[in-house]
Structure 1
Amino acid sequence: MNERARHLVAALTGLGLGLAALGPGLAPGFVLSYDMVFVPDPAFTALTFGLTGIVPRHVPSDAFATALATVLPADAAQKLVLLAIFVMACTAAASLVPTTRLLPRLAAGVCYAWNPFVAERLLLGQWALLLGYAALPWVVAAAAGLHDPGGGRRLVRSLLPAAVGGFAALAVSALTALAVALVSPGRAGARERAAGAARVVGAAAVLSLPWLVPGLLRPAGVPGDGSAVGLFAARADTPFGTLGSLLLLGGVWNGETVPDGYGAPVTATIWLAVVVAALAAYWKWCREPRWRRGLAAAAAAGFAVAALGAVAAPALEGMIGLWPGFAVFRDGQQYAAPLAVAVAVGLGTAADRAAGARLPGVAVAAAAVPVILLPTLAWGAAGELRAVRYPDDWARARQIIHADPVEGDVLVLPWAAYRSYPWNDGRRVLDPLPRYLHRRVIVDDAVSVGTTDGTTTVAPEDPRAVRLAPAARTGAPPVETLRAEGIRYVVVDAEIGSQRPSGPAAEVLRGPDLAVYRIDGIAASPGDGVPIAPVVAGWGIASLVVFWSFLATGTTLSLPLLGSTKPRSIPPRRRTP
């Protein structure tokens, strides 16, 4: 079997894993879970590009989803993205195992695409982060080959999925690539390593411009709430404590997104043995000189960052106090991604060693054990990820609001960031109305997290939400206050009948799932947005660099060229006389 055929088999295996994991989520409709918000007929708006003044965490992933929905039905576009995560993850990890044998490669691919990290982040709805995670093995290979001809172009191409994912995905991928570039180049001198690191920083910075520019130009500045470190720190979801849970690729901060049954003592102990054996095999038998030490360094650094909020919260709080940008480390568990690469490659290496010793049963077991130990990721995470349709009330509300020639913004009640709609089977989801409606929509962006001491709220970041919060929190905001803020419509998408504007507001729609109120005589909306010209320039520069990365002779869009390495078999261990 040639190399291209091996990539095809790995991709088909990833597709099978994706179909098994999504299950009922593949039915017509949308999967809505926590941060995963897709809507029918999305449009490019100021929100899409981060021009409204809110923190642009959704840039450019929303633009990518909207562009894809212009050529496909929006719900089909969501399913394509989610399946692509599994296909890329399996293919990329398989390509990194230094062997020509197919089964060990598939063992690595299955392990990387089906593990607690993927399950917990999928339930948390962080599809954009998972895009970058899926391509991380290609990033490792590209960062180790920066000094090869076309190495810079290859790095940019490998970072593209993370760039689409946005700031969190690109932060994880860039830190991984930086560690590999600094450690991996063998006998390269300090100058060559510094040059490689500079290329990584430059590529990541340019690809970050679509979200970095509007983030830096926000009138409210770069937010950074150090008090939230403890809320988003890694937590134990196995019997082995927080650090043990991180080692097992779990430990997400939100206990509601842990798969059913995960962390049981027996299966957790077996999984711990698999992870330890995989890491030992990686270090002992994976002799690929270009990225072996660099990936190990990236995994160690990522583990340290992942544990930082749990074991040294005051230090991270102090860092955020010095520079708000360090808030990107608050949700530390996401930085366990390079450790997942090392575990997957190590498992594939161990399987290859077993296959070389004519123990094919061990190789087969290595490919199957991740799925066996985490069966509740299957069938939409045991039914948690199901496709639903938006109610008819929503479509009627959008038609009314979009047909109104009077400009003005929309306020959403009740005043809370996440919803548990009955039509979404009670699953929590970030309010979809800002993406569903094509006007500026103000929602509460303060995140409330339940703790053992009660509920703690992270401070809101949208200046409009901050100003309207005292009135909106009452459930009956005065019409005079709304007029002054340029609010044309108030939409109540939960607790219908118990919340509405206080004062003369016309009820233009009232149904079982939505109520809409119109306010006349509003003032002009305050200017809290971001200037357009710098954002356009940032998109233009990033697009030119992406175009440049595909100019190399013979470059195509095929997956193997995104960063795979030339495989070689691991030689059998020599016997001492």
Structure 2
Amino acid sequence: MGPGLAPGFVLSYDMVFVPGPAFTRLTFGLTGTVPRHVPSDAVVTALAAVVPADVVQKLVLLAVFVMACTAAASLVPSRRLVPRLAAGVCYAWNPFVAERLLLGQWALLLGYAALPWVMAAAAGTDRPGGARRLVRALIPAAIGGFAALTVSGIAALTVAVVTGTGAGRARAGGRVVAAVGGLSLPWLVPGLLRPAGIPEDGAAVGAFAARADTPFGTLGSLLSLGGVWNGETVPAGYGAPVTAAVWLLVVVVALAAYARTGWGTGLGAAGAAGFAVAASGAVAGGALEGLIGLWAGFAVLRDGQQYVAPLAVVVAVGLGTAADRAADARLPLVAPAAVLAPLFLLPTLAWGAAGELRAVRYPADWARARQIIDSDRASGDVLVLPWAAYRSYPWNHGRRVLDPLPRYLHRRVIVNDAVAVGGVSGAAVAAEDPRAVRLNRAVAAGVPPASTLRDAGVRYVVADAETTANRPPGAVEVLRGPDLAVYRIDGVRPVRERTVPVVPVVAAWTAVCLLVSWSILAPRTTVGLPLLGGIHPRNPRRRVT
């Protein structure tokens, strides 16, 4: 984490933390926007009520690495520390983690960190207490939200079905579906009840499909646990022919060692299934577009690379197993080399990804703007200009970040949430916020006059201060600083917005709280997870404690 541990916030692409977050309708997905940030924003806001928000971010990011190392190490069938550390370091320090961290997807990484526990618990879902263990293991993914739960759910279902036998197979699969579905309610309910429906954009499959970031093509990059769609988030120096070849060799050796153990076939099946899903957008993009056309919910499969996470579990366990076998063969240097290999082959993940992930402070203008806007009792929303979802602020060292104002301000904020990828002309994903869709034509043609915004229910316009071109004609300037300008529009007419009903969302959160409480507080259960359901891989008659 390096410079990211300094006071302030690390802001990178989708990683948006703000000082003093508050619970708003946006937090719970009630505004009609797509609830991708649910329930992670709510958990962060709750934690920020106890400790400062920037400390919350640092604890979350550190927890990702600690959990990832611990969870992967727990699956290695060895009592030796060094082989388990080899698995832990490999799982916590690899191209997948680096690229997703630079992409700011901390919520996905939270689920990734606990995925080894999820896969182990899924193997014992049909045993007494197995359902409770699975729910507990899924809690980090549930906090992460839809992407983390989807990845974990596919992996867990595959493990449960493959390791089950007879009628127990269907029962185990049903319990996995019930657990994942129950924990998904906070984002699933507002998503299904969204007035505009689930957005459907199969044309974006090509934009978010896995891409080659090594000399070995897309499939070779995915096998190496890389292949992210955004070339700007590939770690510095990664993909060079020599280091990429050595890393691919390490992966192949790890997979071979895993295959020879003869245990945990569910993990291998989950890794293979995840790899197939990850490659689908690149090798069968038309088929995936067709699925999205049938049901928009399949759009969750567009960002293919995230589904190599189960394969990362297999690689990590395989590397730890190879190190353990080397120790059995009295090759003392192999196990330490296995621990250090990921660090040497991807050194630019160190020190905040070679300084990319630096903590910054929000400018004073932002605090002044929030004070002005939040203290105003008049109704009306906030429009953000320039009309773009991702911003490159000078005070954030020019690094792109999803506009923080919707979370920073405590009013309804309208931003252009259309996303362009990789320099593609136009938007790879069209705008999804109904308010942004209605204003898009007027704003795209130039800054609309105050009368147009007044009719649209806009009370304030917040714009970058470098230029006066973002000032709506007829608006009153109430703040101009070096970083932000705020304009007020008087006489705003209230606009009735179709939103998600509150009662079903409250019921969803209540159900999830009861489910989690049942898994944790049930008598005669422990928080610990048994290795592959409690069966020792080398001696089936021996229980693992």
TM-score, scaled relative to structure 1:
0.91
Number of the residue aligned with 2:376 = 404
Opposite residue 489 of structure 1, the aligned amino acid is Y
Number of the residue aligned with 1:64 = 43
CA distance in structure 2 between the aligned counterparts of 1:40 and 1:472, rounded to whole angstroms: 29
> What does residue range 415-564 of structure 1 map to in structure 2 within 5 Å?
415-451=387-423, 454=425, 456-493=427-464, 495-502=466-473, 504-555=474-525, 560-561=528-529
The DSSP-based 3-state class of the residue aligned with 2:45 is helix
Opposite residue 518 of structure 1, the aligned amino acid is R
CA distance in structure 2 between the aligned counterparts of 1:528 and 1:445, rounded to whole angstroms: 18
* Deviation at residue 216 of structure 1 after TM alignment: 0.5
Contact 1:238/1:264 (8 A) holds in 2: yes
Matched, 1:280 2:252: no
Number of the residue aligned with 2:109 = 130
CA distance in structure 1 between the aligned counterparts of 2:465 and 2:314, rounded to whole angstroms: 45
Contact 1:413/1:494 (8 A) holds in 2: no
Shift of the 399–352 alpha-carbon distance from structure 1 to 2, 3 Å rule, reads same
The DSSP-based 3-state class of the residue aligned with 1:103 is helix
Contact 1:150/1:552 (8 A) holds in 2: no
* Deviation at residue 553 of structure 1 after TM alignment: 2.8
Contact 1:34/1:124 (8 A) holds in 2: yes
Matched, 1:38 2:17: yes
**Partner deviation per Cα, 1:281-317 (whole Å, 9 max, x = no partner):** 00102x43xxx11111111111111011111111111
* Deviation at residue 528 of structure 1 after TM alignment: 2.3
Opposite residue 244 of structure 1, the aligned amino acid is G
Number of the residue aligned with 2:542 = none
CA distance in structure 1 between the aligned counterparts of 2:426 and 2:130, rounded to whole angstroms: 49
> What does residue range 63-462 of structure 1 map to in structure 2 within 5 Å?
63-185=42-164, 188-189=165-166, 191-285=167-261, 287-288=262-263, 292-451=264-423, 454=425, 456-462=427-433
**Partner deviation per Cα, 1:241-294 (whole Å, 9 max, x = no partner):** 000000000000000000000000000000011000000000102x43xxx111
CA distance in structure 2 between the aligned counterparts of 1:477 and 1:364, rounded to whole angstroms: 63
Opposite residue 332 of structure 2, the aligned amino acid is P
CA distance in structure 2 between the aligned counterparts of 1:31 and 1:429, rounded to whole angstroms: 10
Please report the RMSD computed on the Cα atoms of aligned residues, expressed in angstroms: 1.4
CA distance in structure 1 between the aligned counterparts of 2:379 and 2:538, rounded to whole angstroms: 66
CA distance in structure 2 between the aligned counterparts of 1:380 and 1:570, rounded to whole angstroms: 40
Contact 1:128/1:166 (8 A) holds in 2: yes
CA distance in structure 1 between the aligned counterparts of 2:366 and 2:109, rounded to whole angstroms: 29
The DSSP-based 3-state class of the residue aligned with 1:450 is coil
* Deviation at residue 457 of structure 1 after TM alignment: 3.5
Segments of structure 2 that go 5 or more residues without pairing to the other structure are 540-545
Segments of structure 1 that go 5 or more residues without pairing to the other structure are 1-21, 572-577
Opposite residue 247 of structure 2, the aligned amino acid is W
CA distance in structure 1 between the aligned counterparts of 2:455 and 2:4, rounded to whole angstroms: 43
The DSSP-based 3-state class of the residue aligned with 1:449 is coil
Contact 1:25/1:385 (8 A) holds in 2: yes
The DSSP-based 3-state class of the residue aligned with 1:457 is coil
Shift of the 563–38 alpha-carbon distance from structure 1 to 2, 3 Å rule, reads farther
**Partner deviation per Cα, 1:195-249 (whole Å, 9 max, x = no partner):** 1110010111110000000000111000120000000000000000000000000
The DSSP-based 3-state class of the residue aligned with 1:490 is strand
Contact 1:158/1:563 (8 A) holds in 2: no
TM-score, scaled relative to structure 2:
0.97
Shift of the 564–511 alpha-carbon distance from structure 1 to 2, 3 Å rule, reads farther
* Deviation at residue 356 of structure 1 after TM alignment: 1.1
CA distance in structure 2 between the aligned counterparts of 1:132 and 1:475, rounded to whole angstroms: 42
**Partner deviation per Cα, 1:5-62 (whole Å, 9 max, x = no partner):** xxxxxxxxxxxxxxxxx10000000000000000000001000000000000000000
Opposite residue 262 of structure 1, the aligned amino acid is Y
CA distance in structure 2 between the aligned counterparts of 1:562 and 1:131, rounded to whole angstroms: 21
**Partner deviation per Cα, 1:127-150 (whole Å, 9 max, x = no partner):** 000000000000011000012211
CA distance in structure 2 between the aligned counterparts of 1:537 and 1:360, rounded to whole angstroms: 57
Give the stretch that moved more between structures: 232-241 or 98-107: 98-107
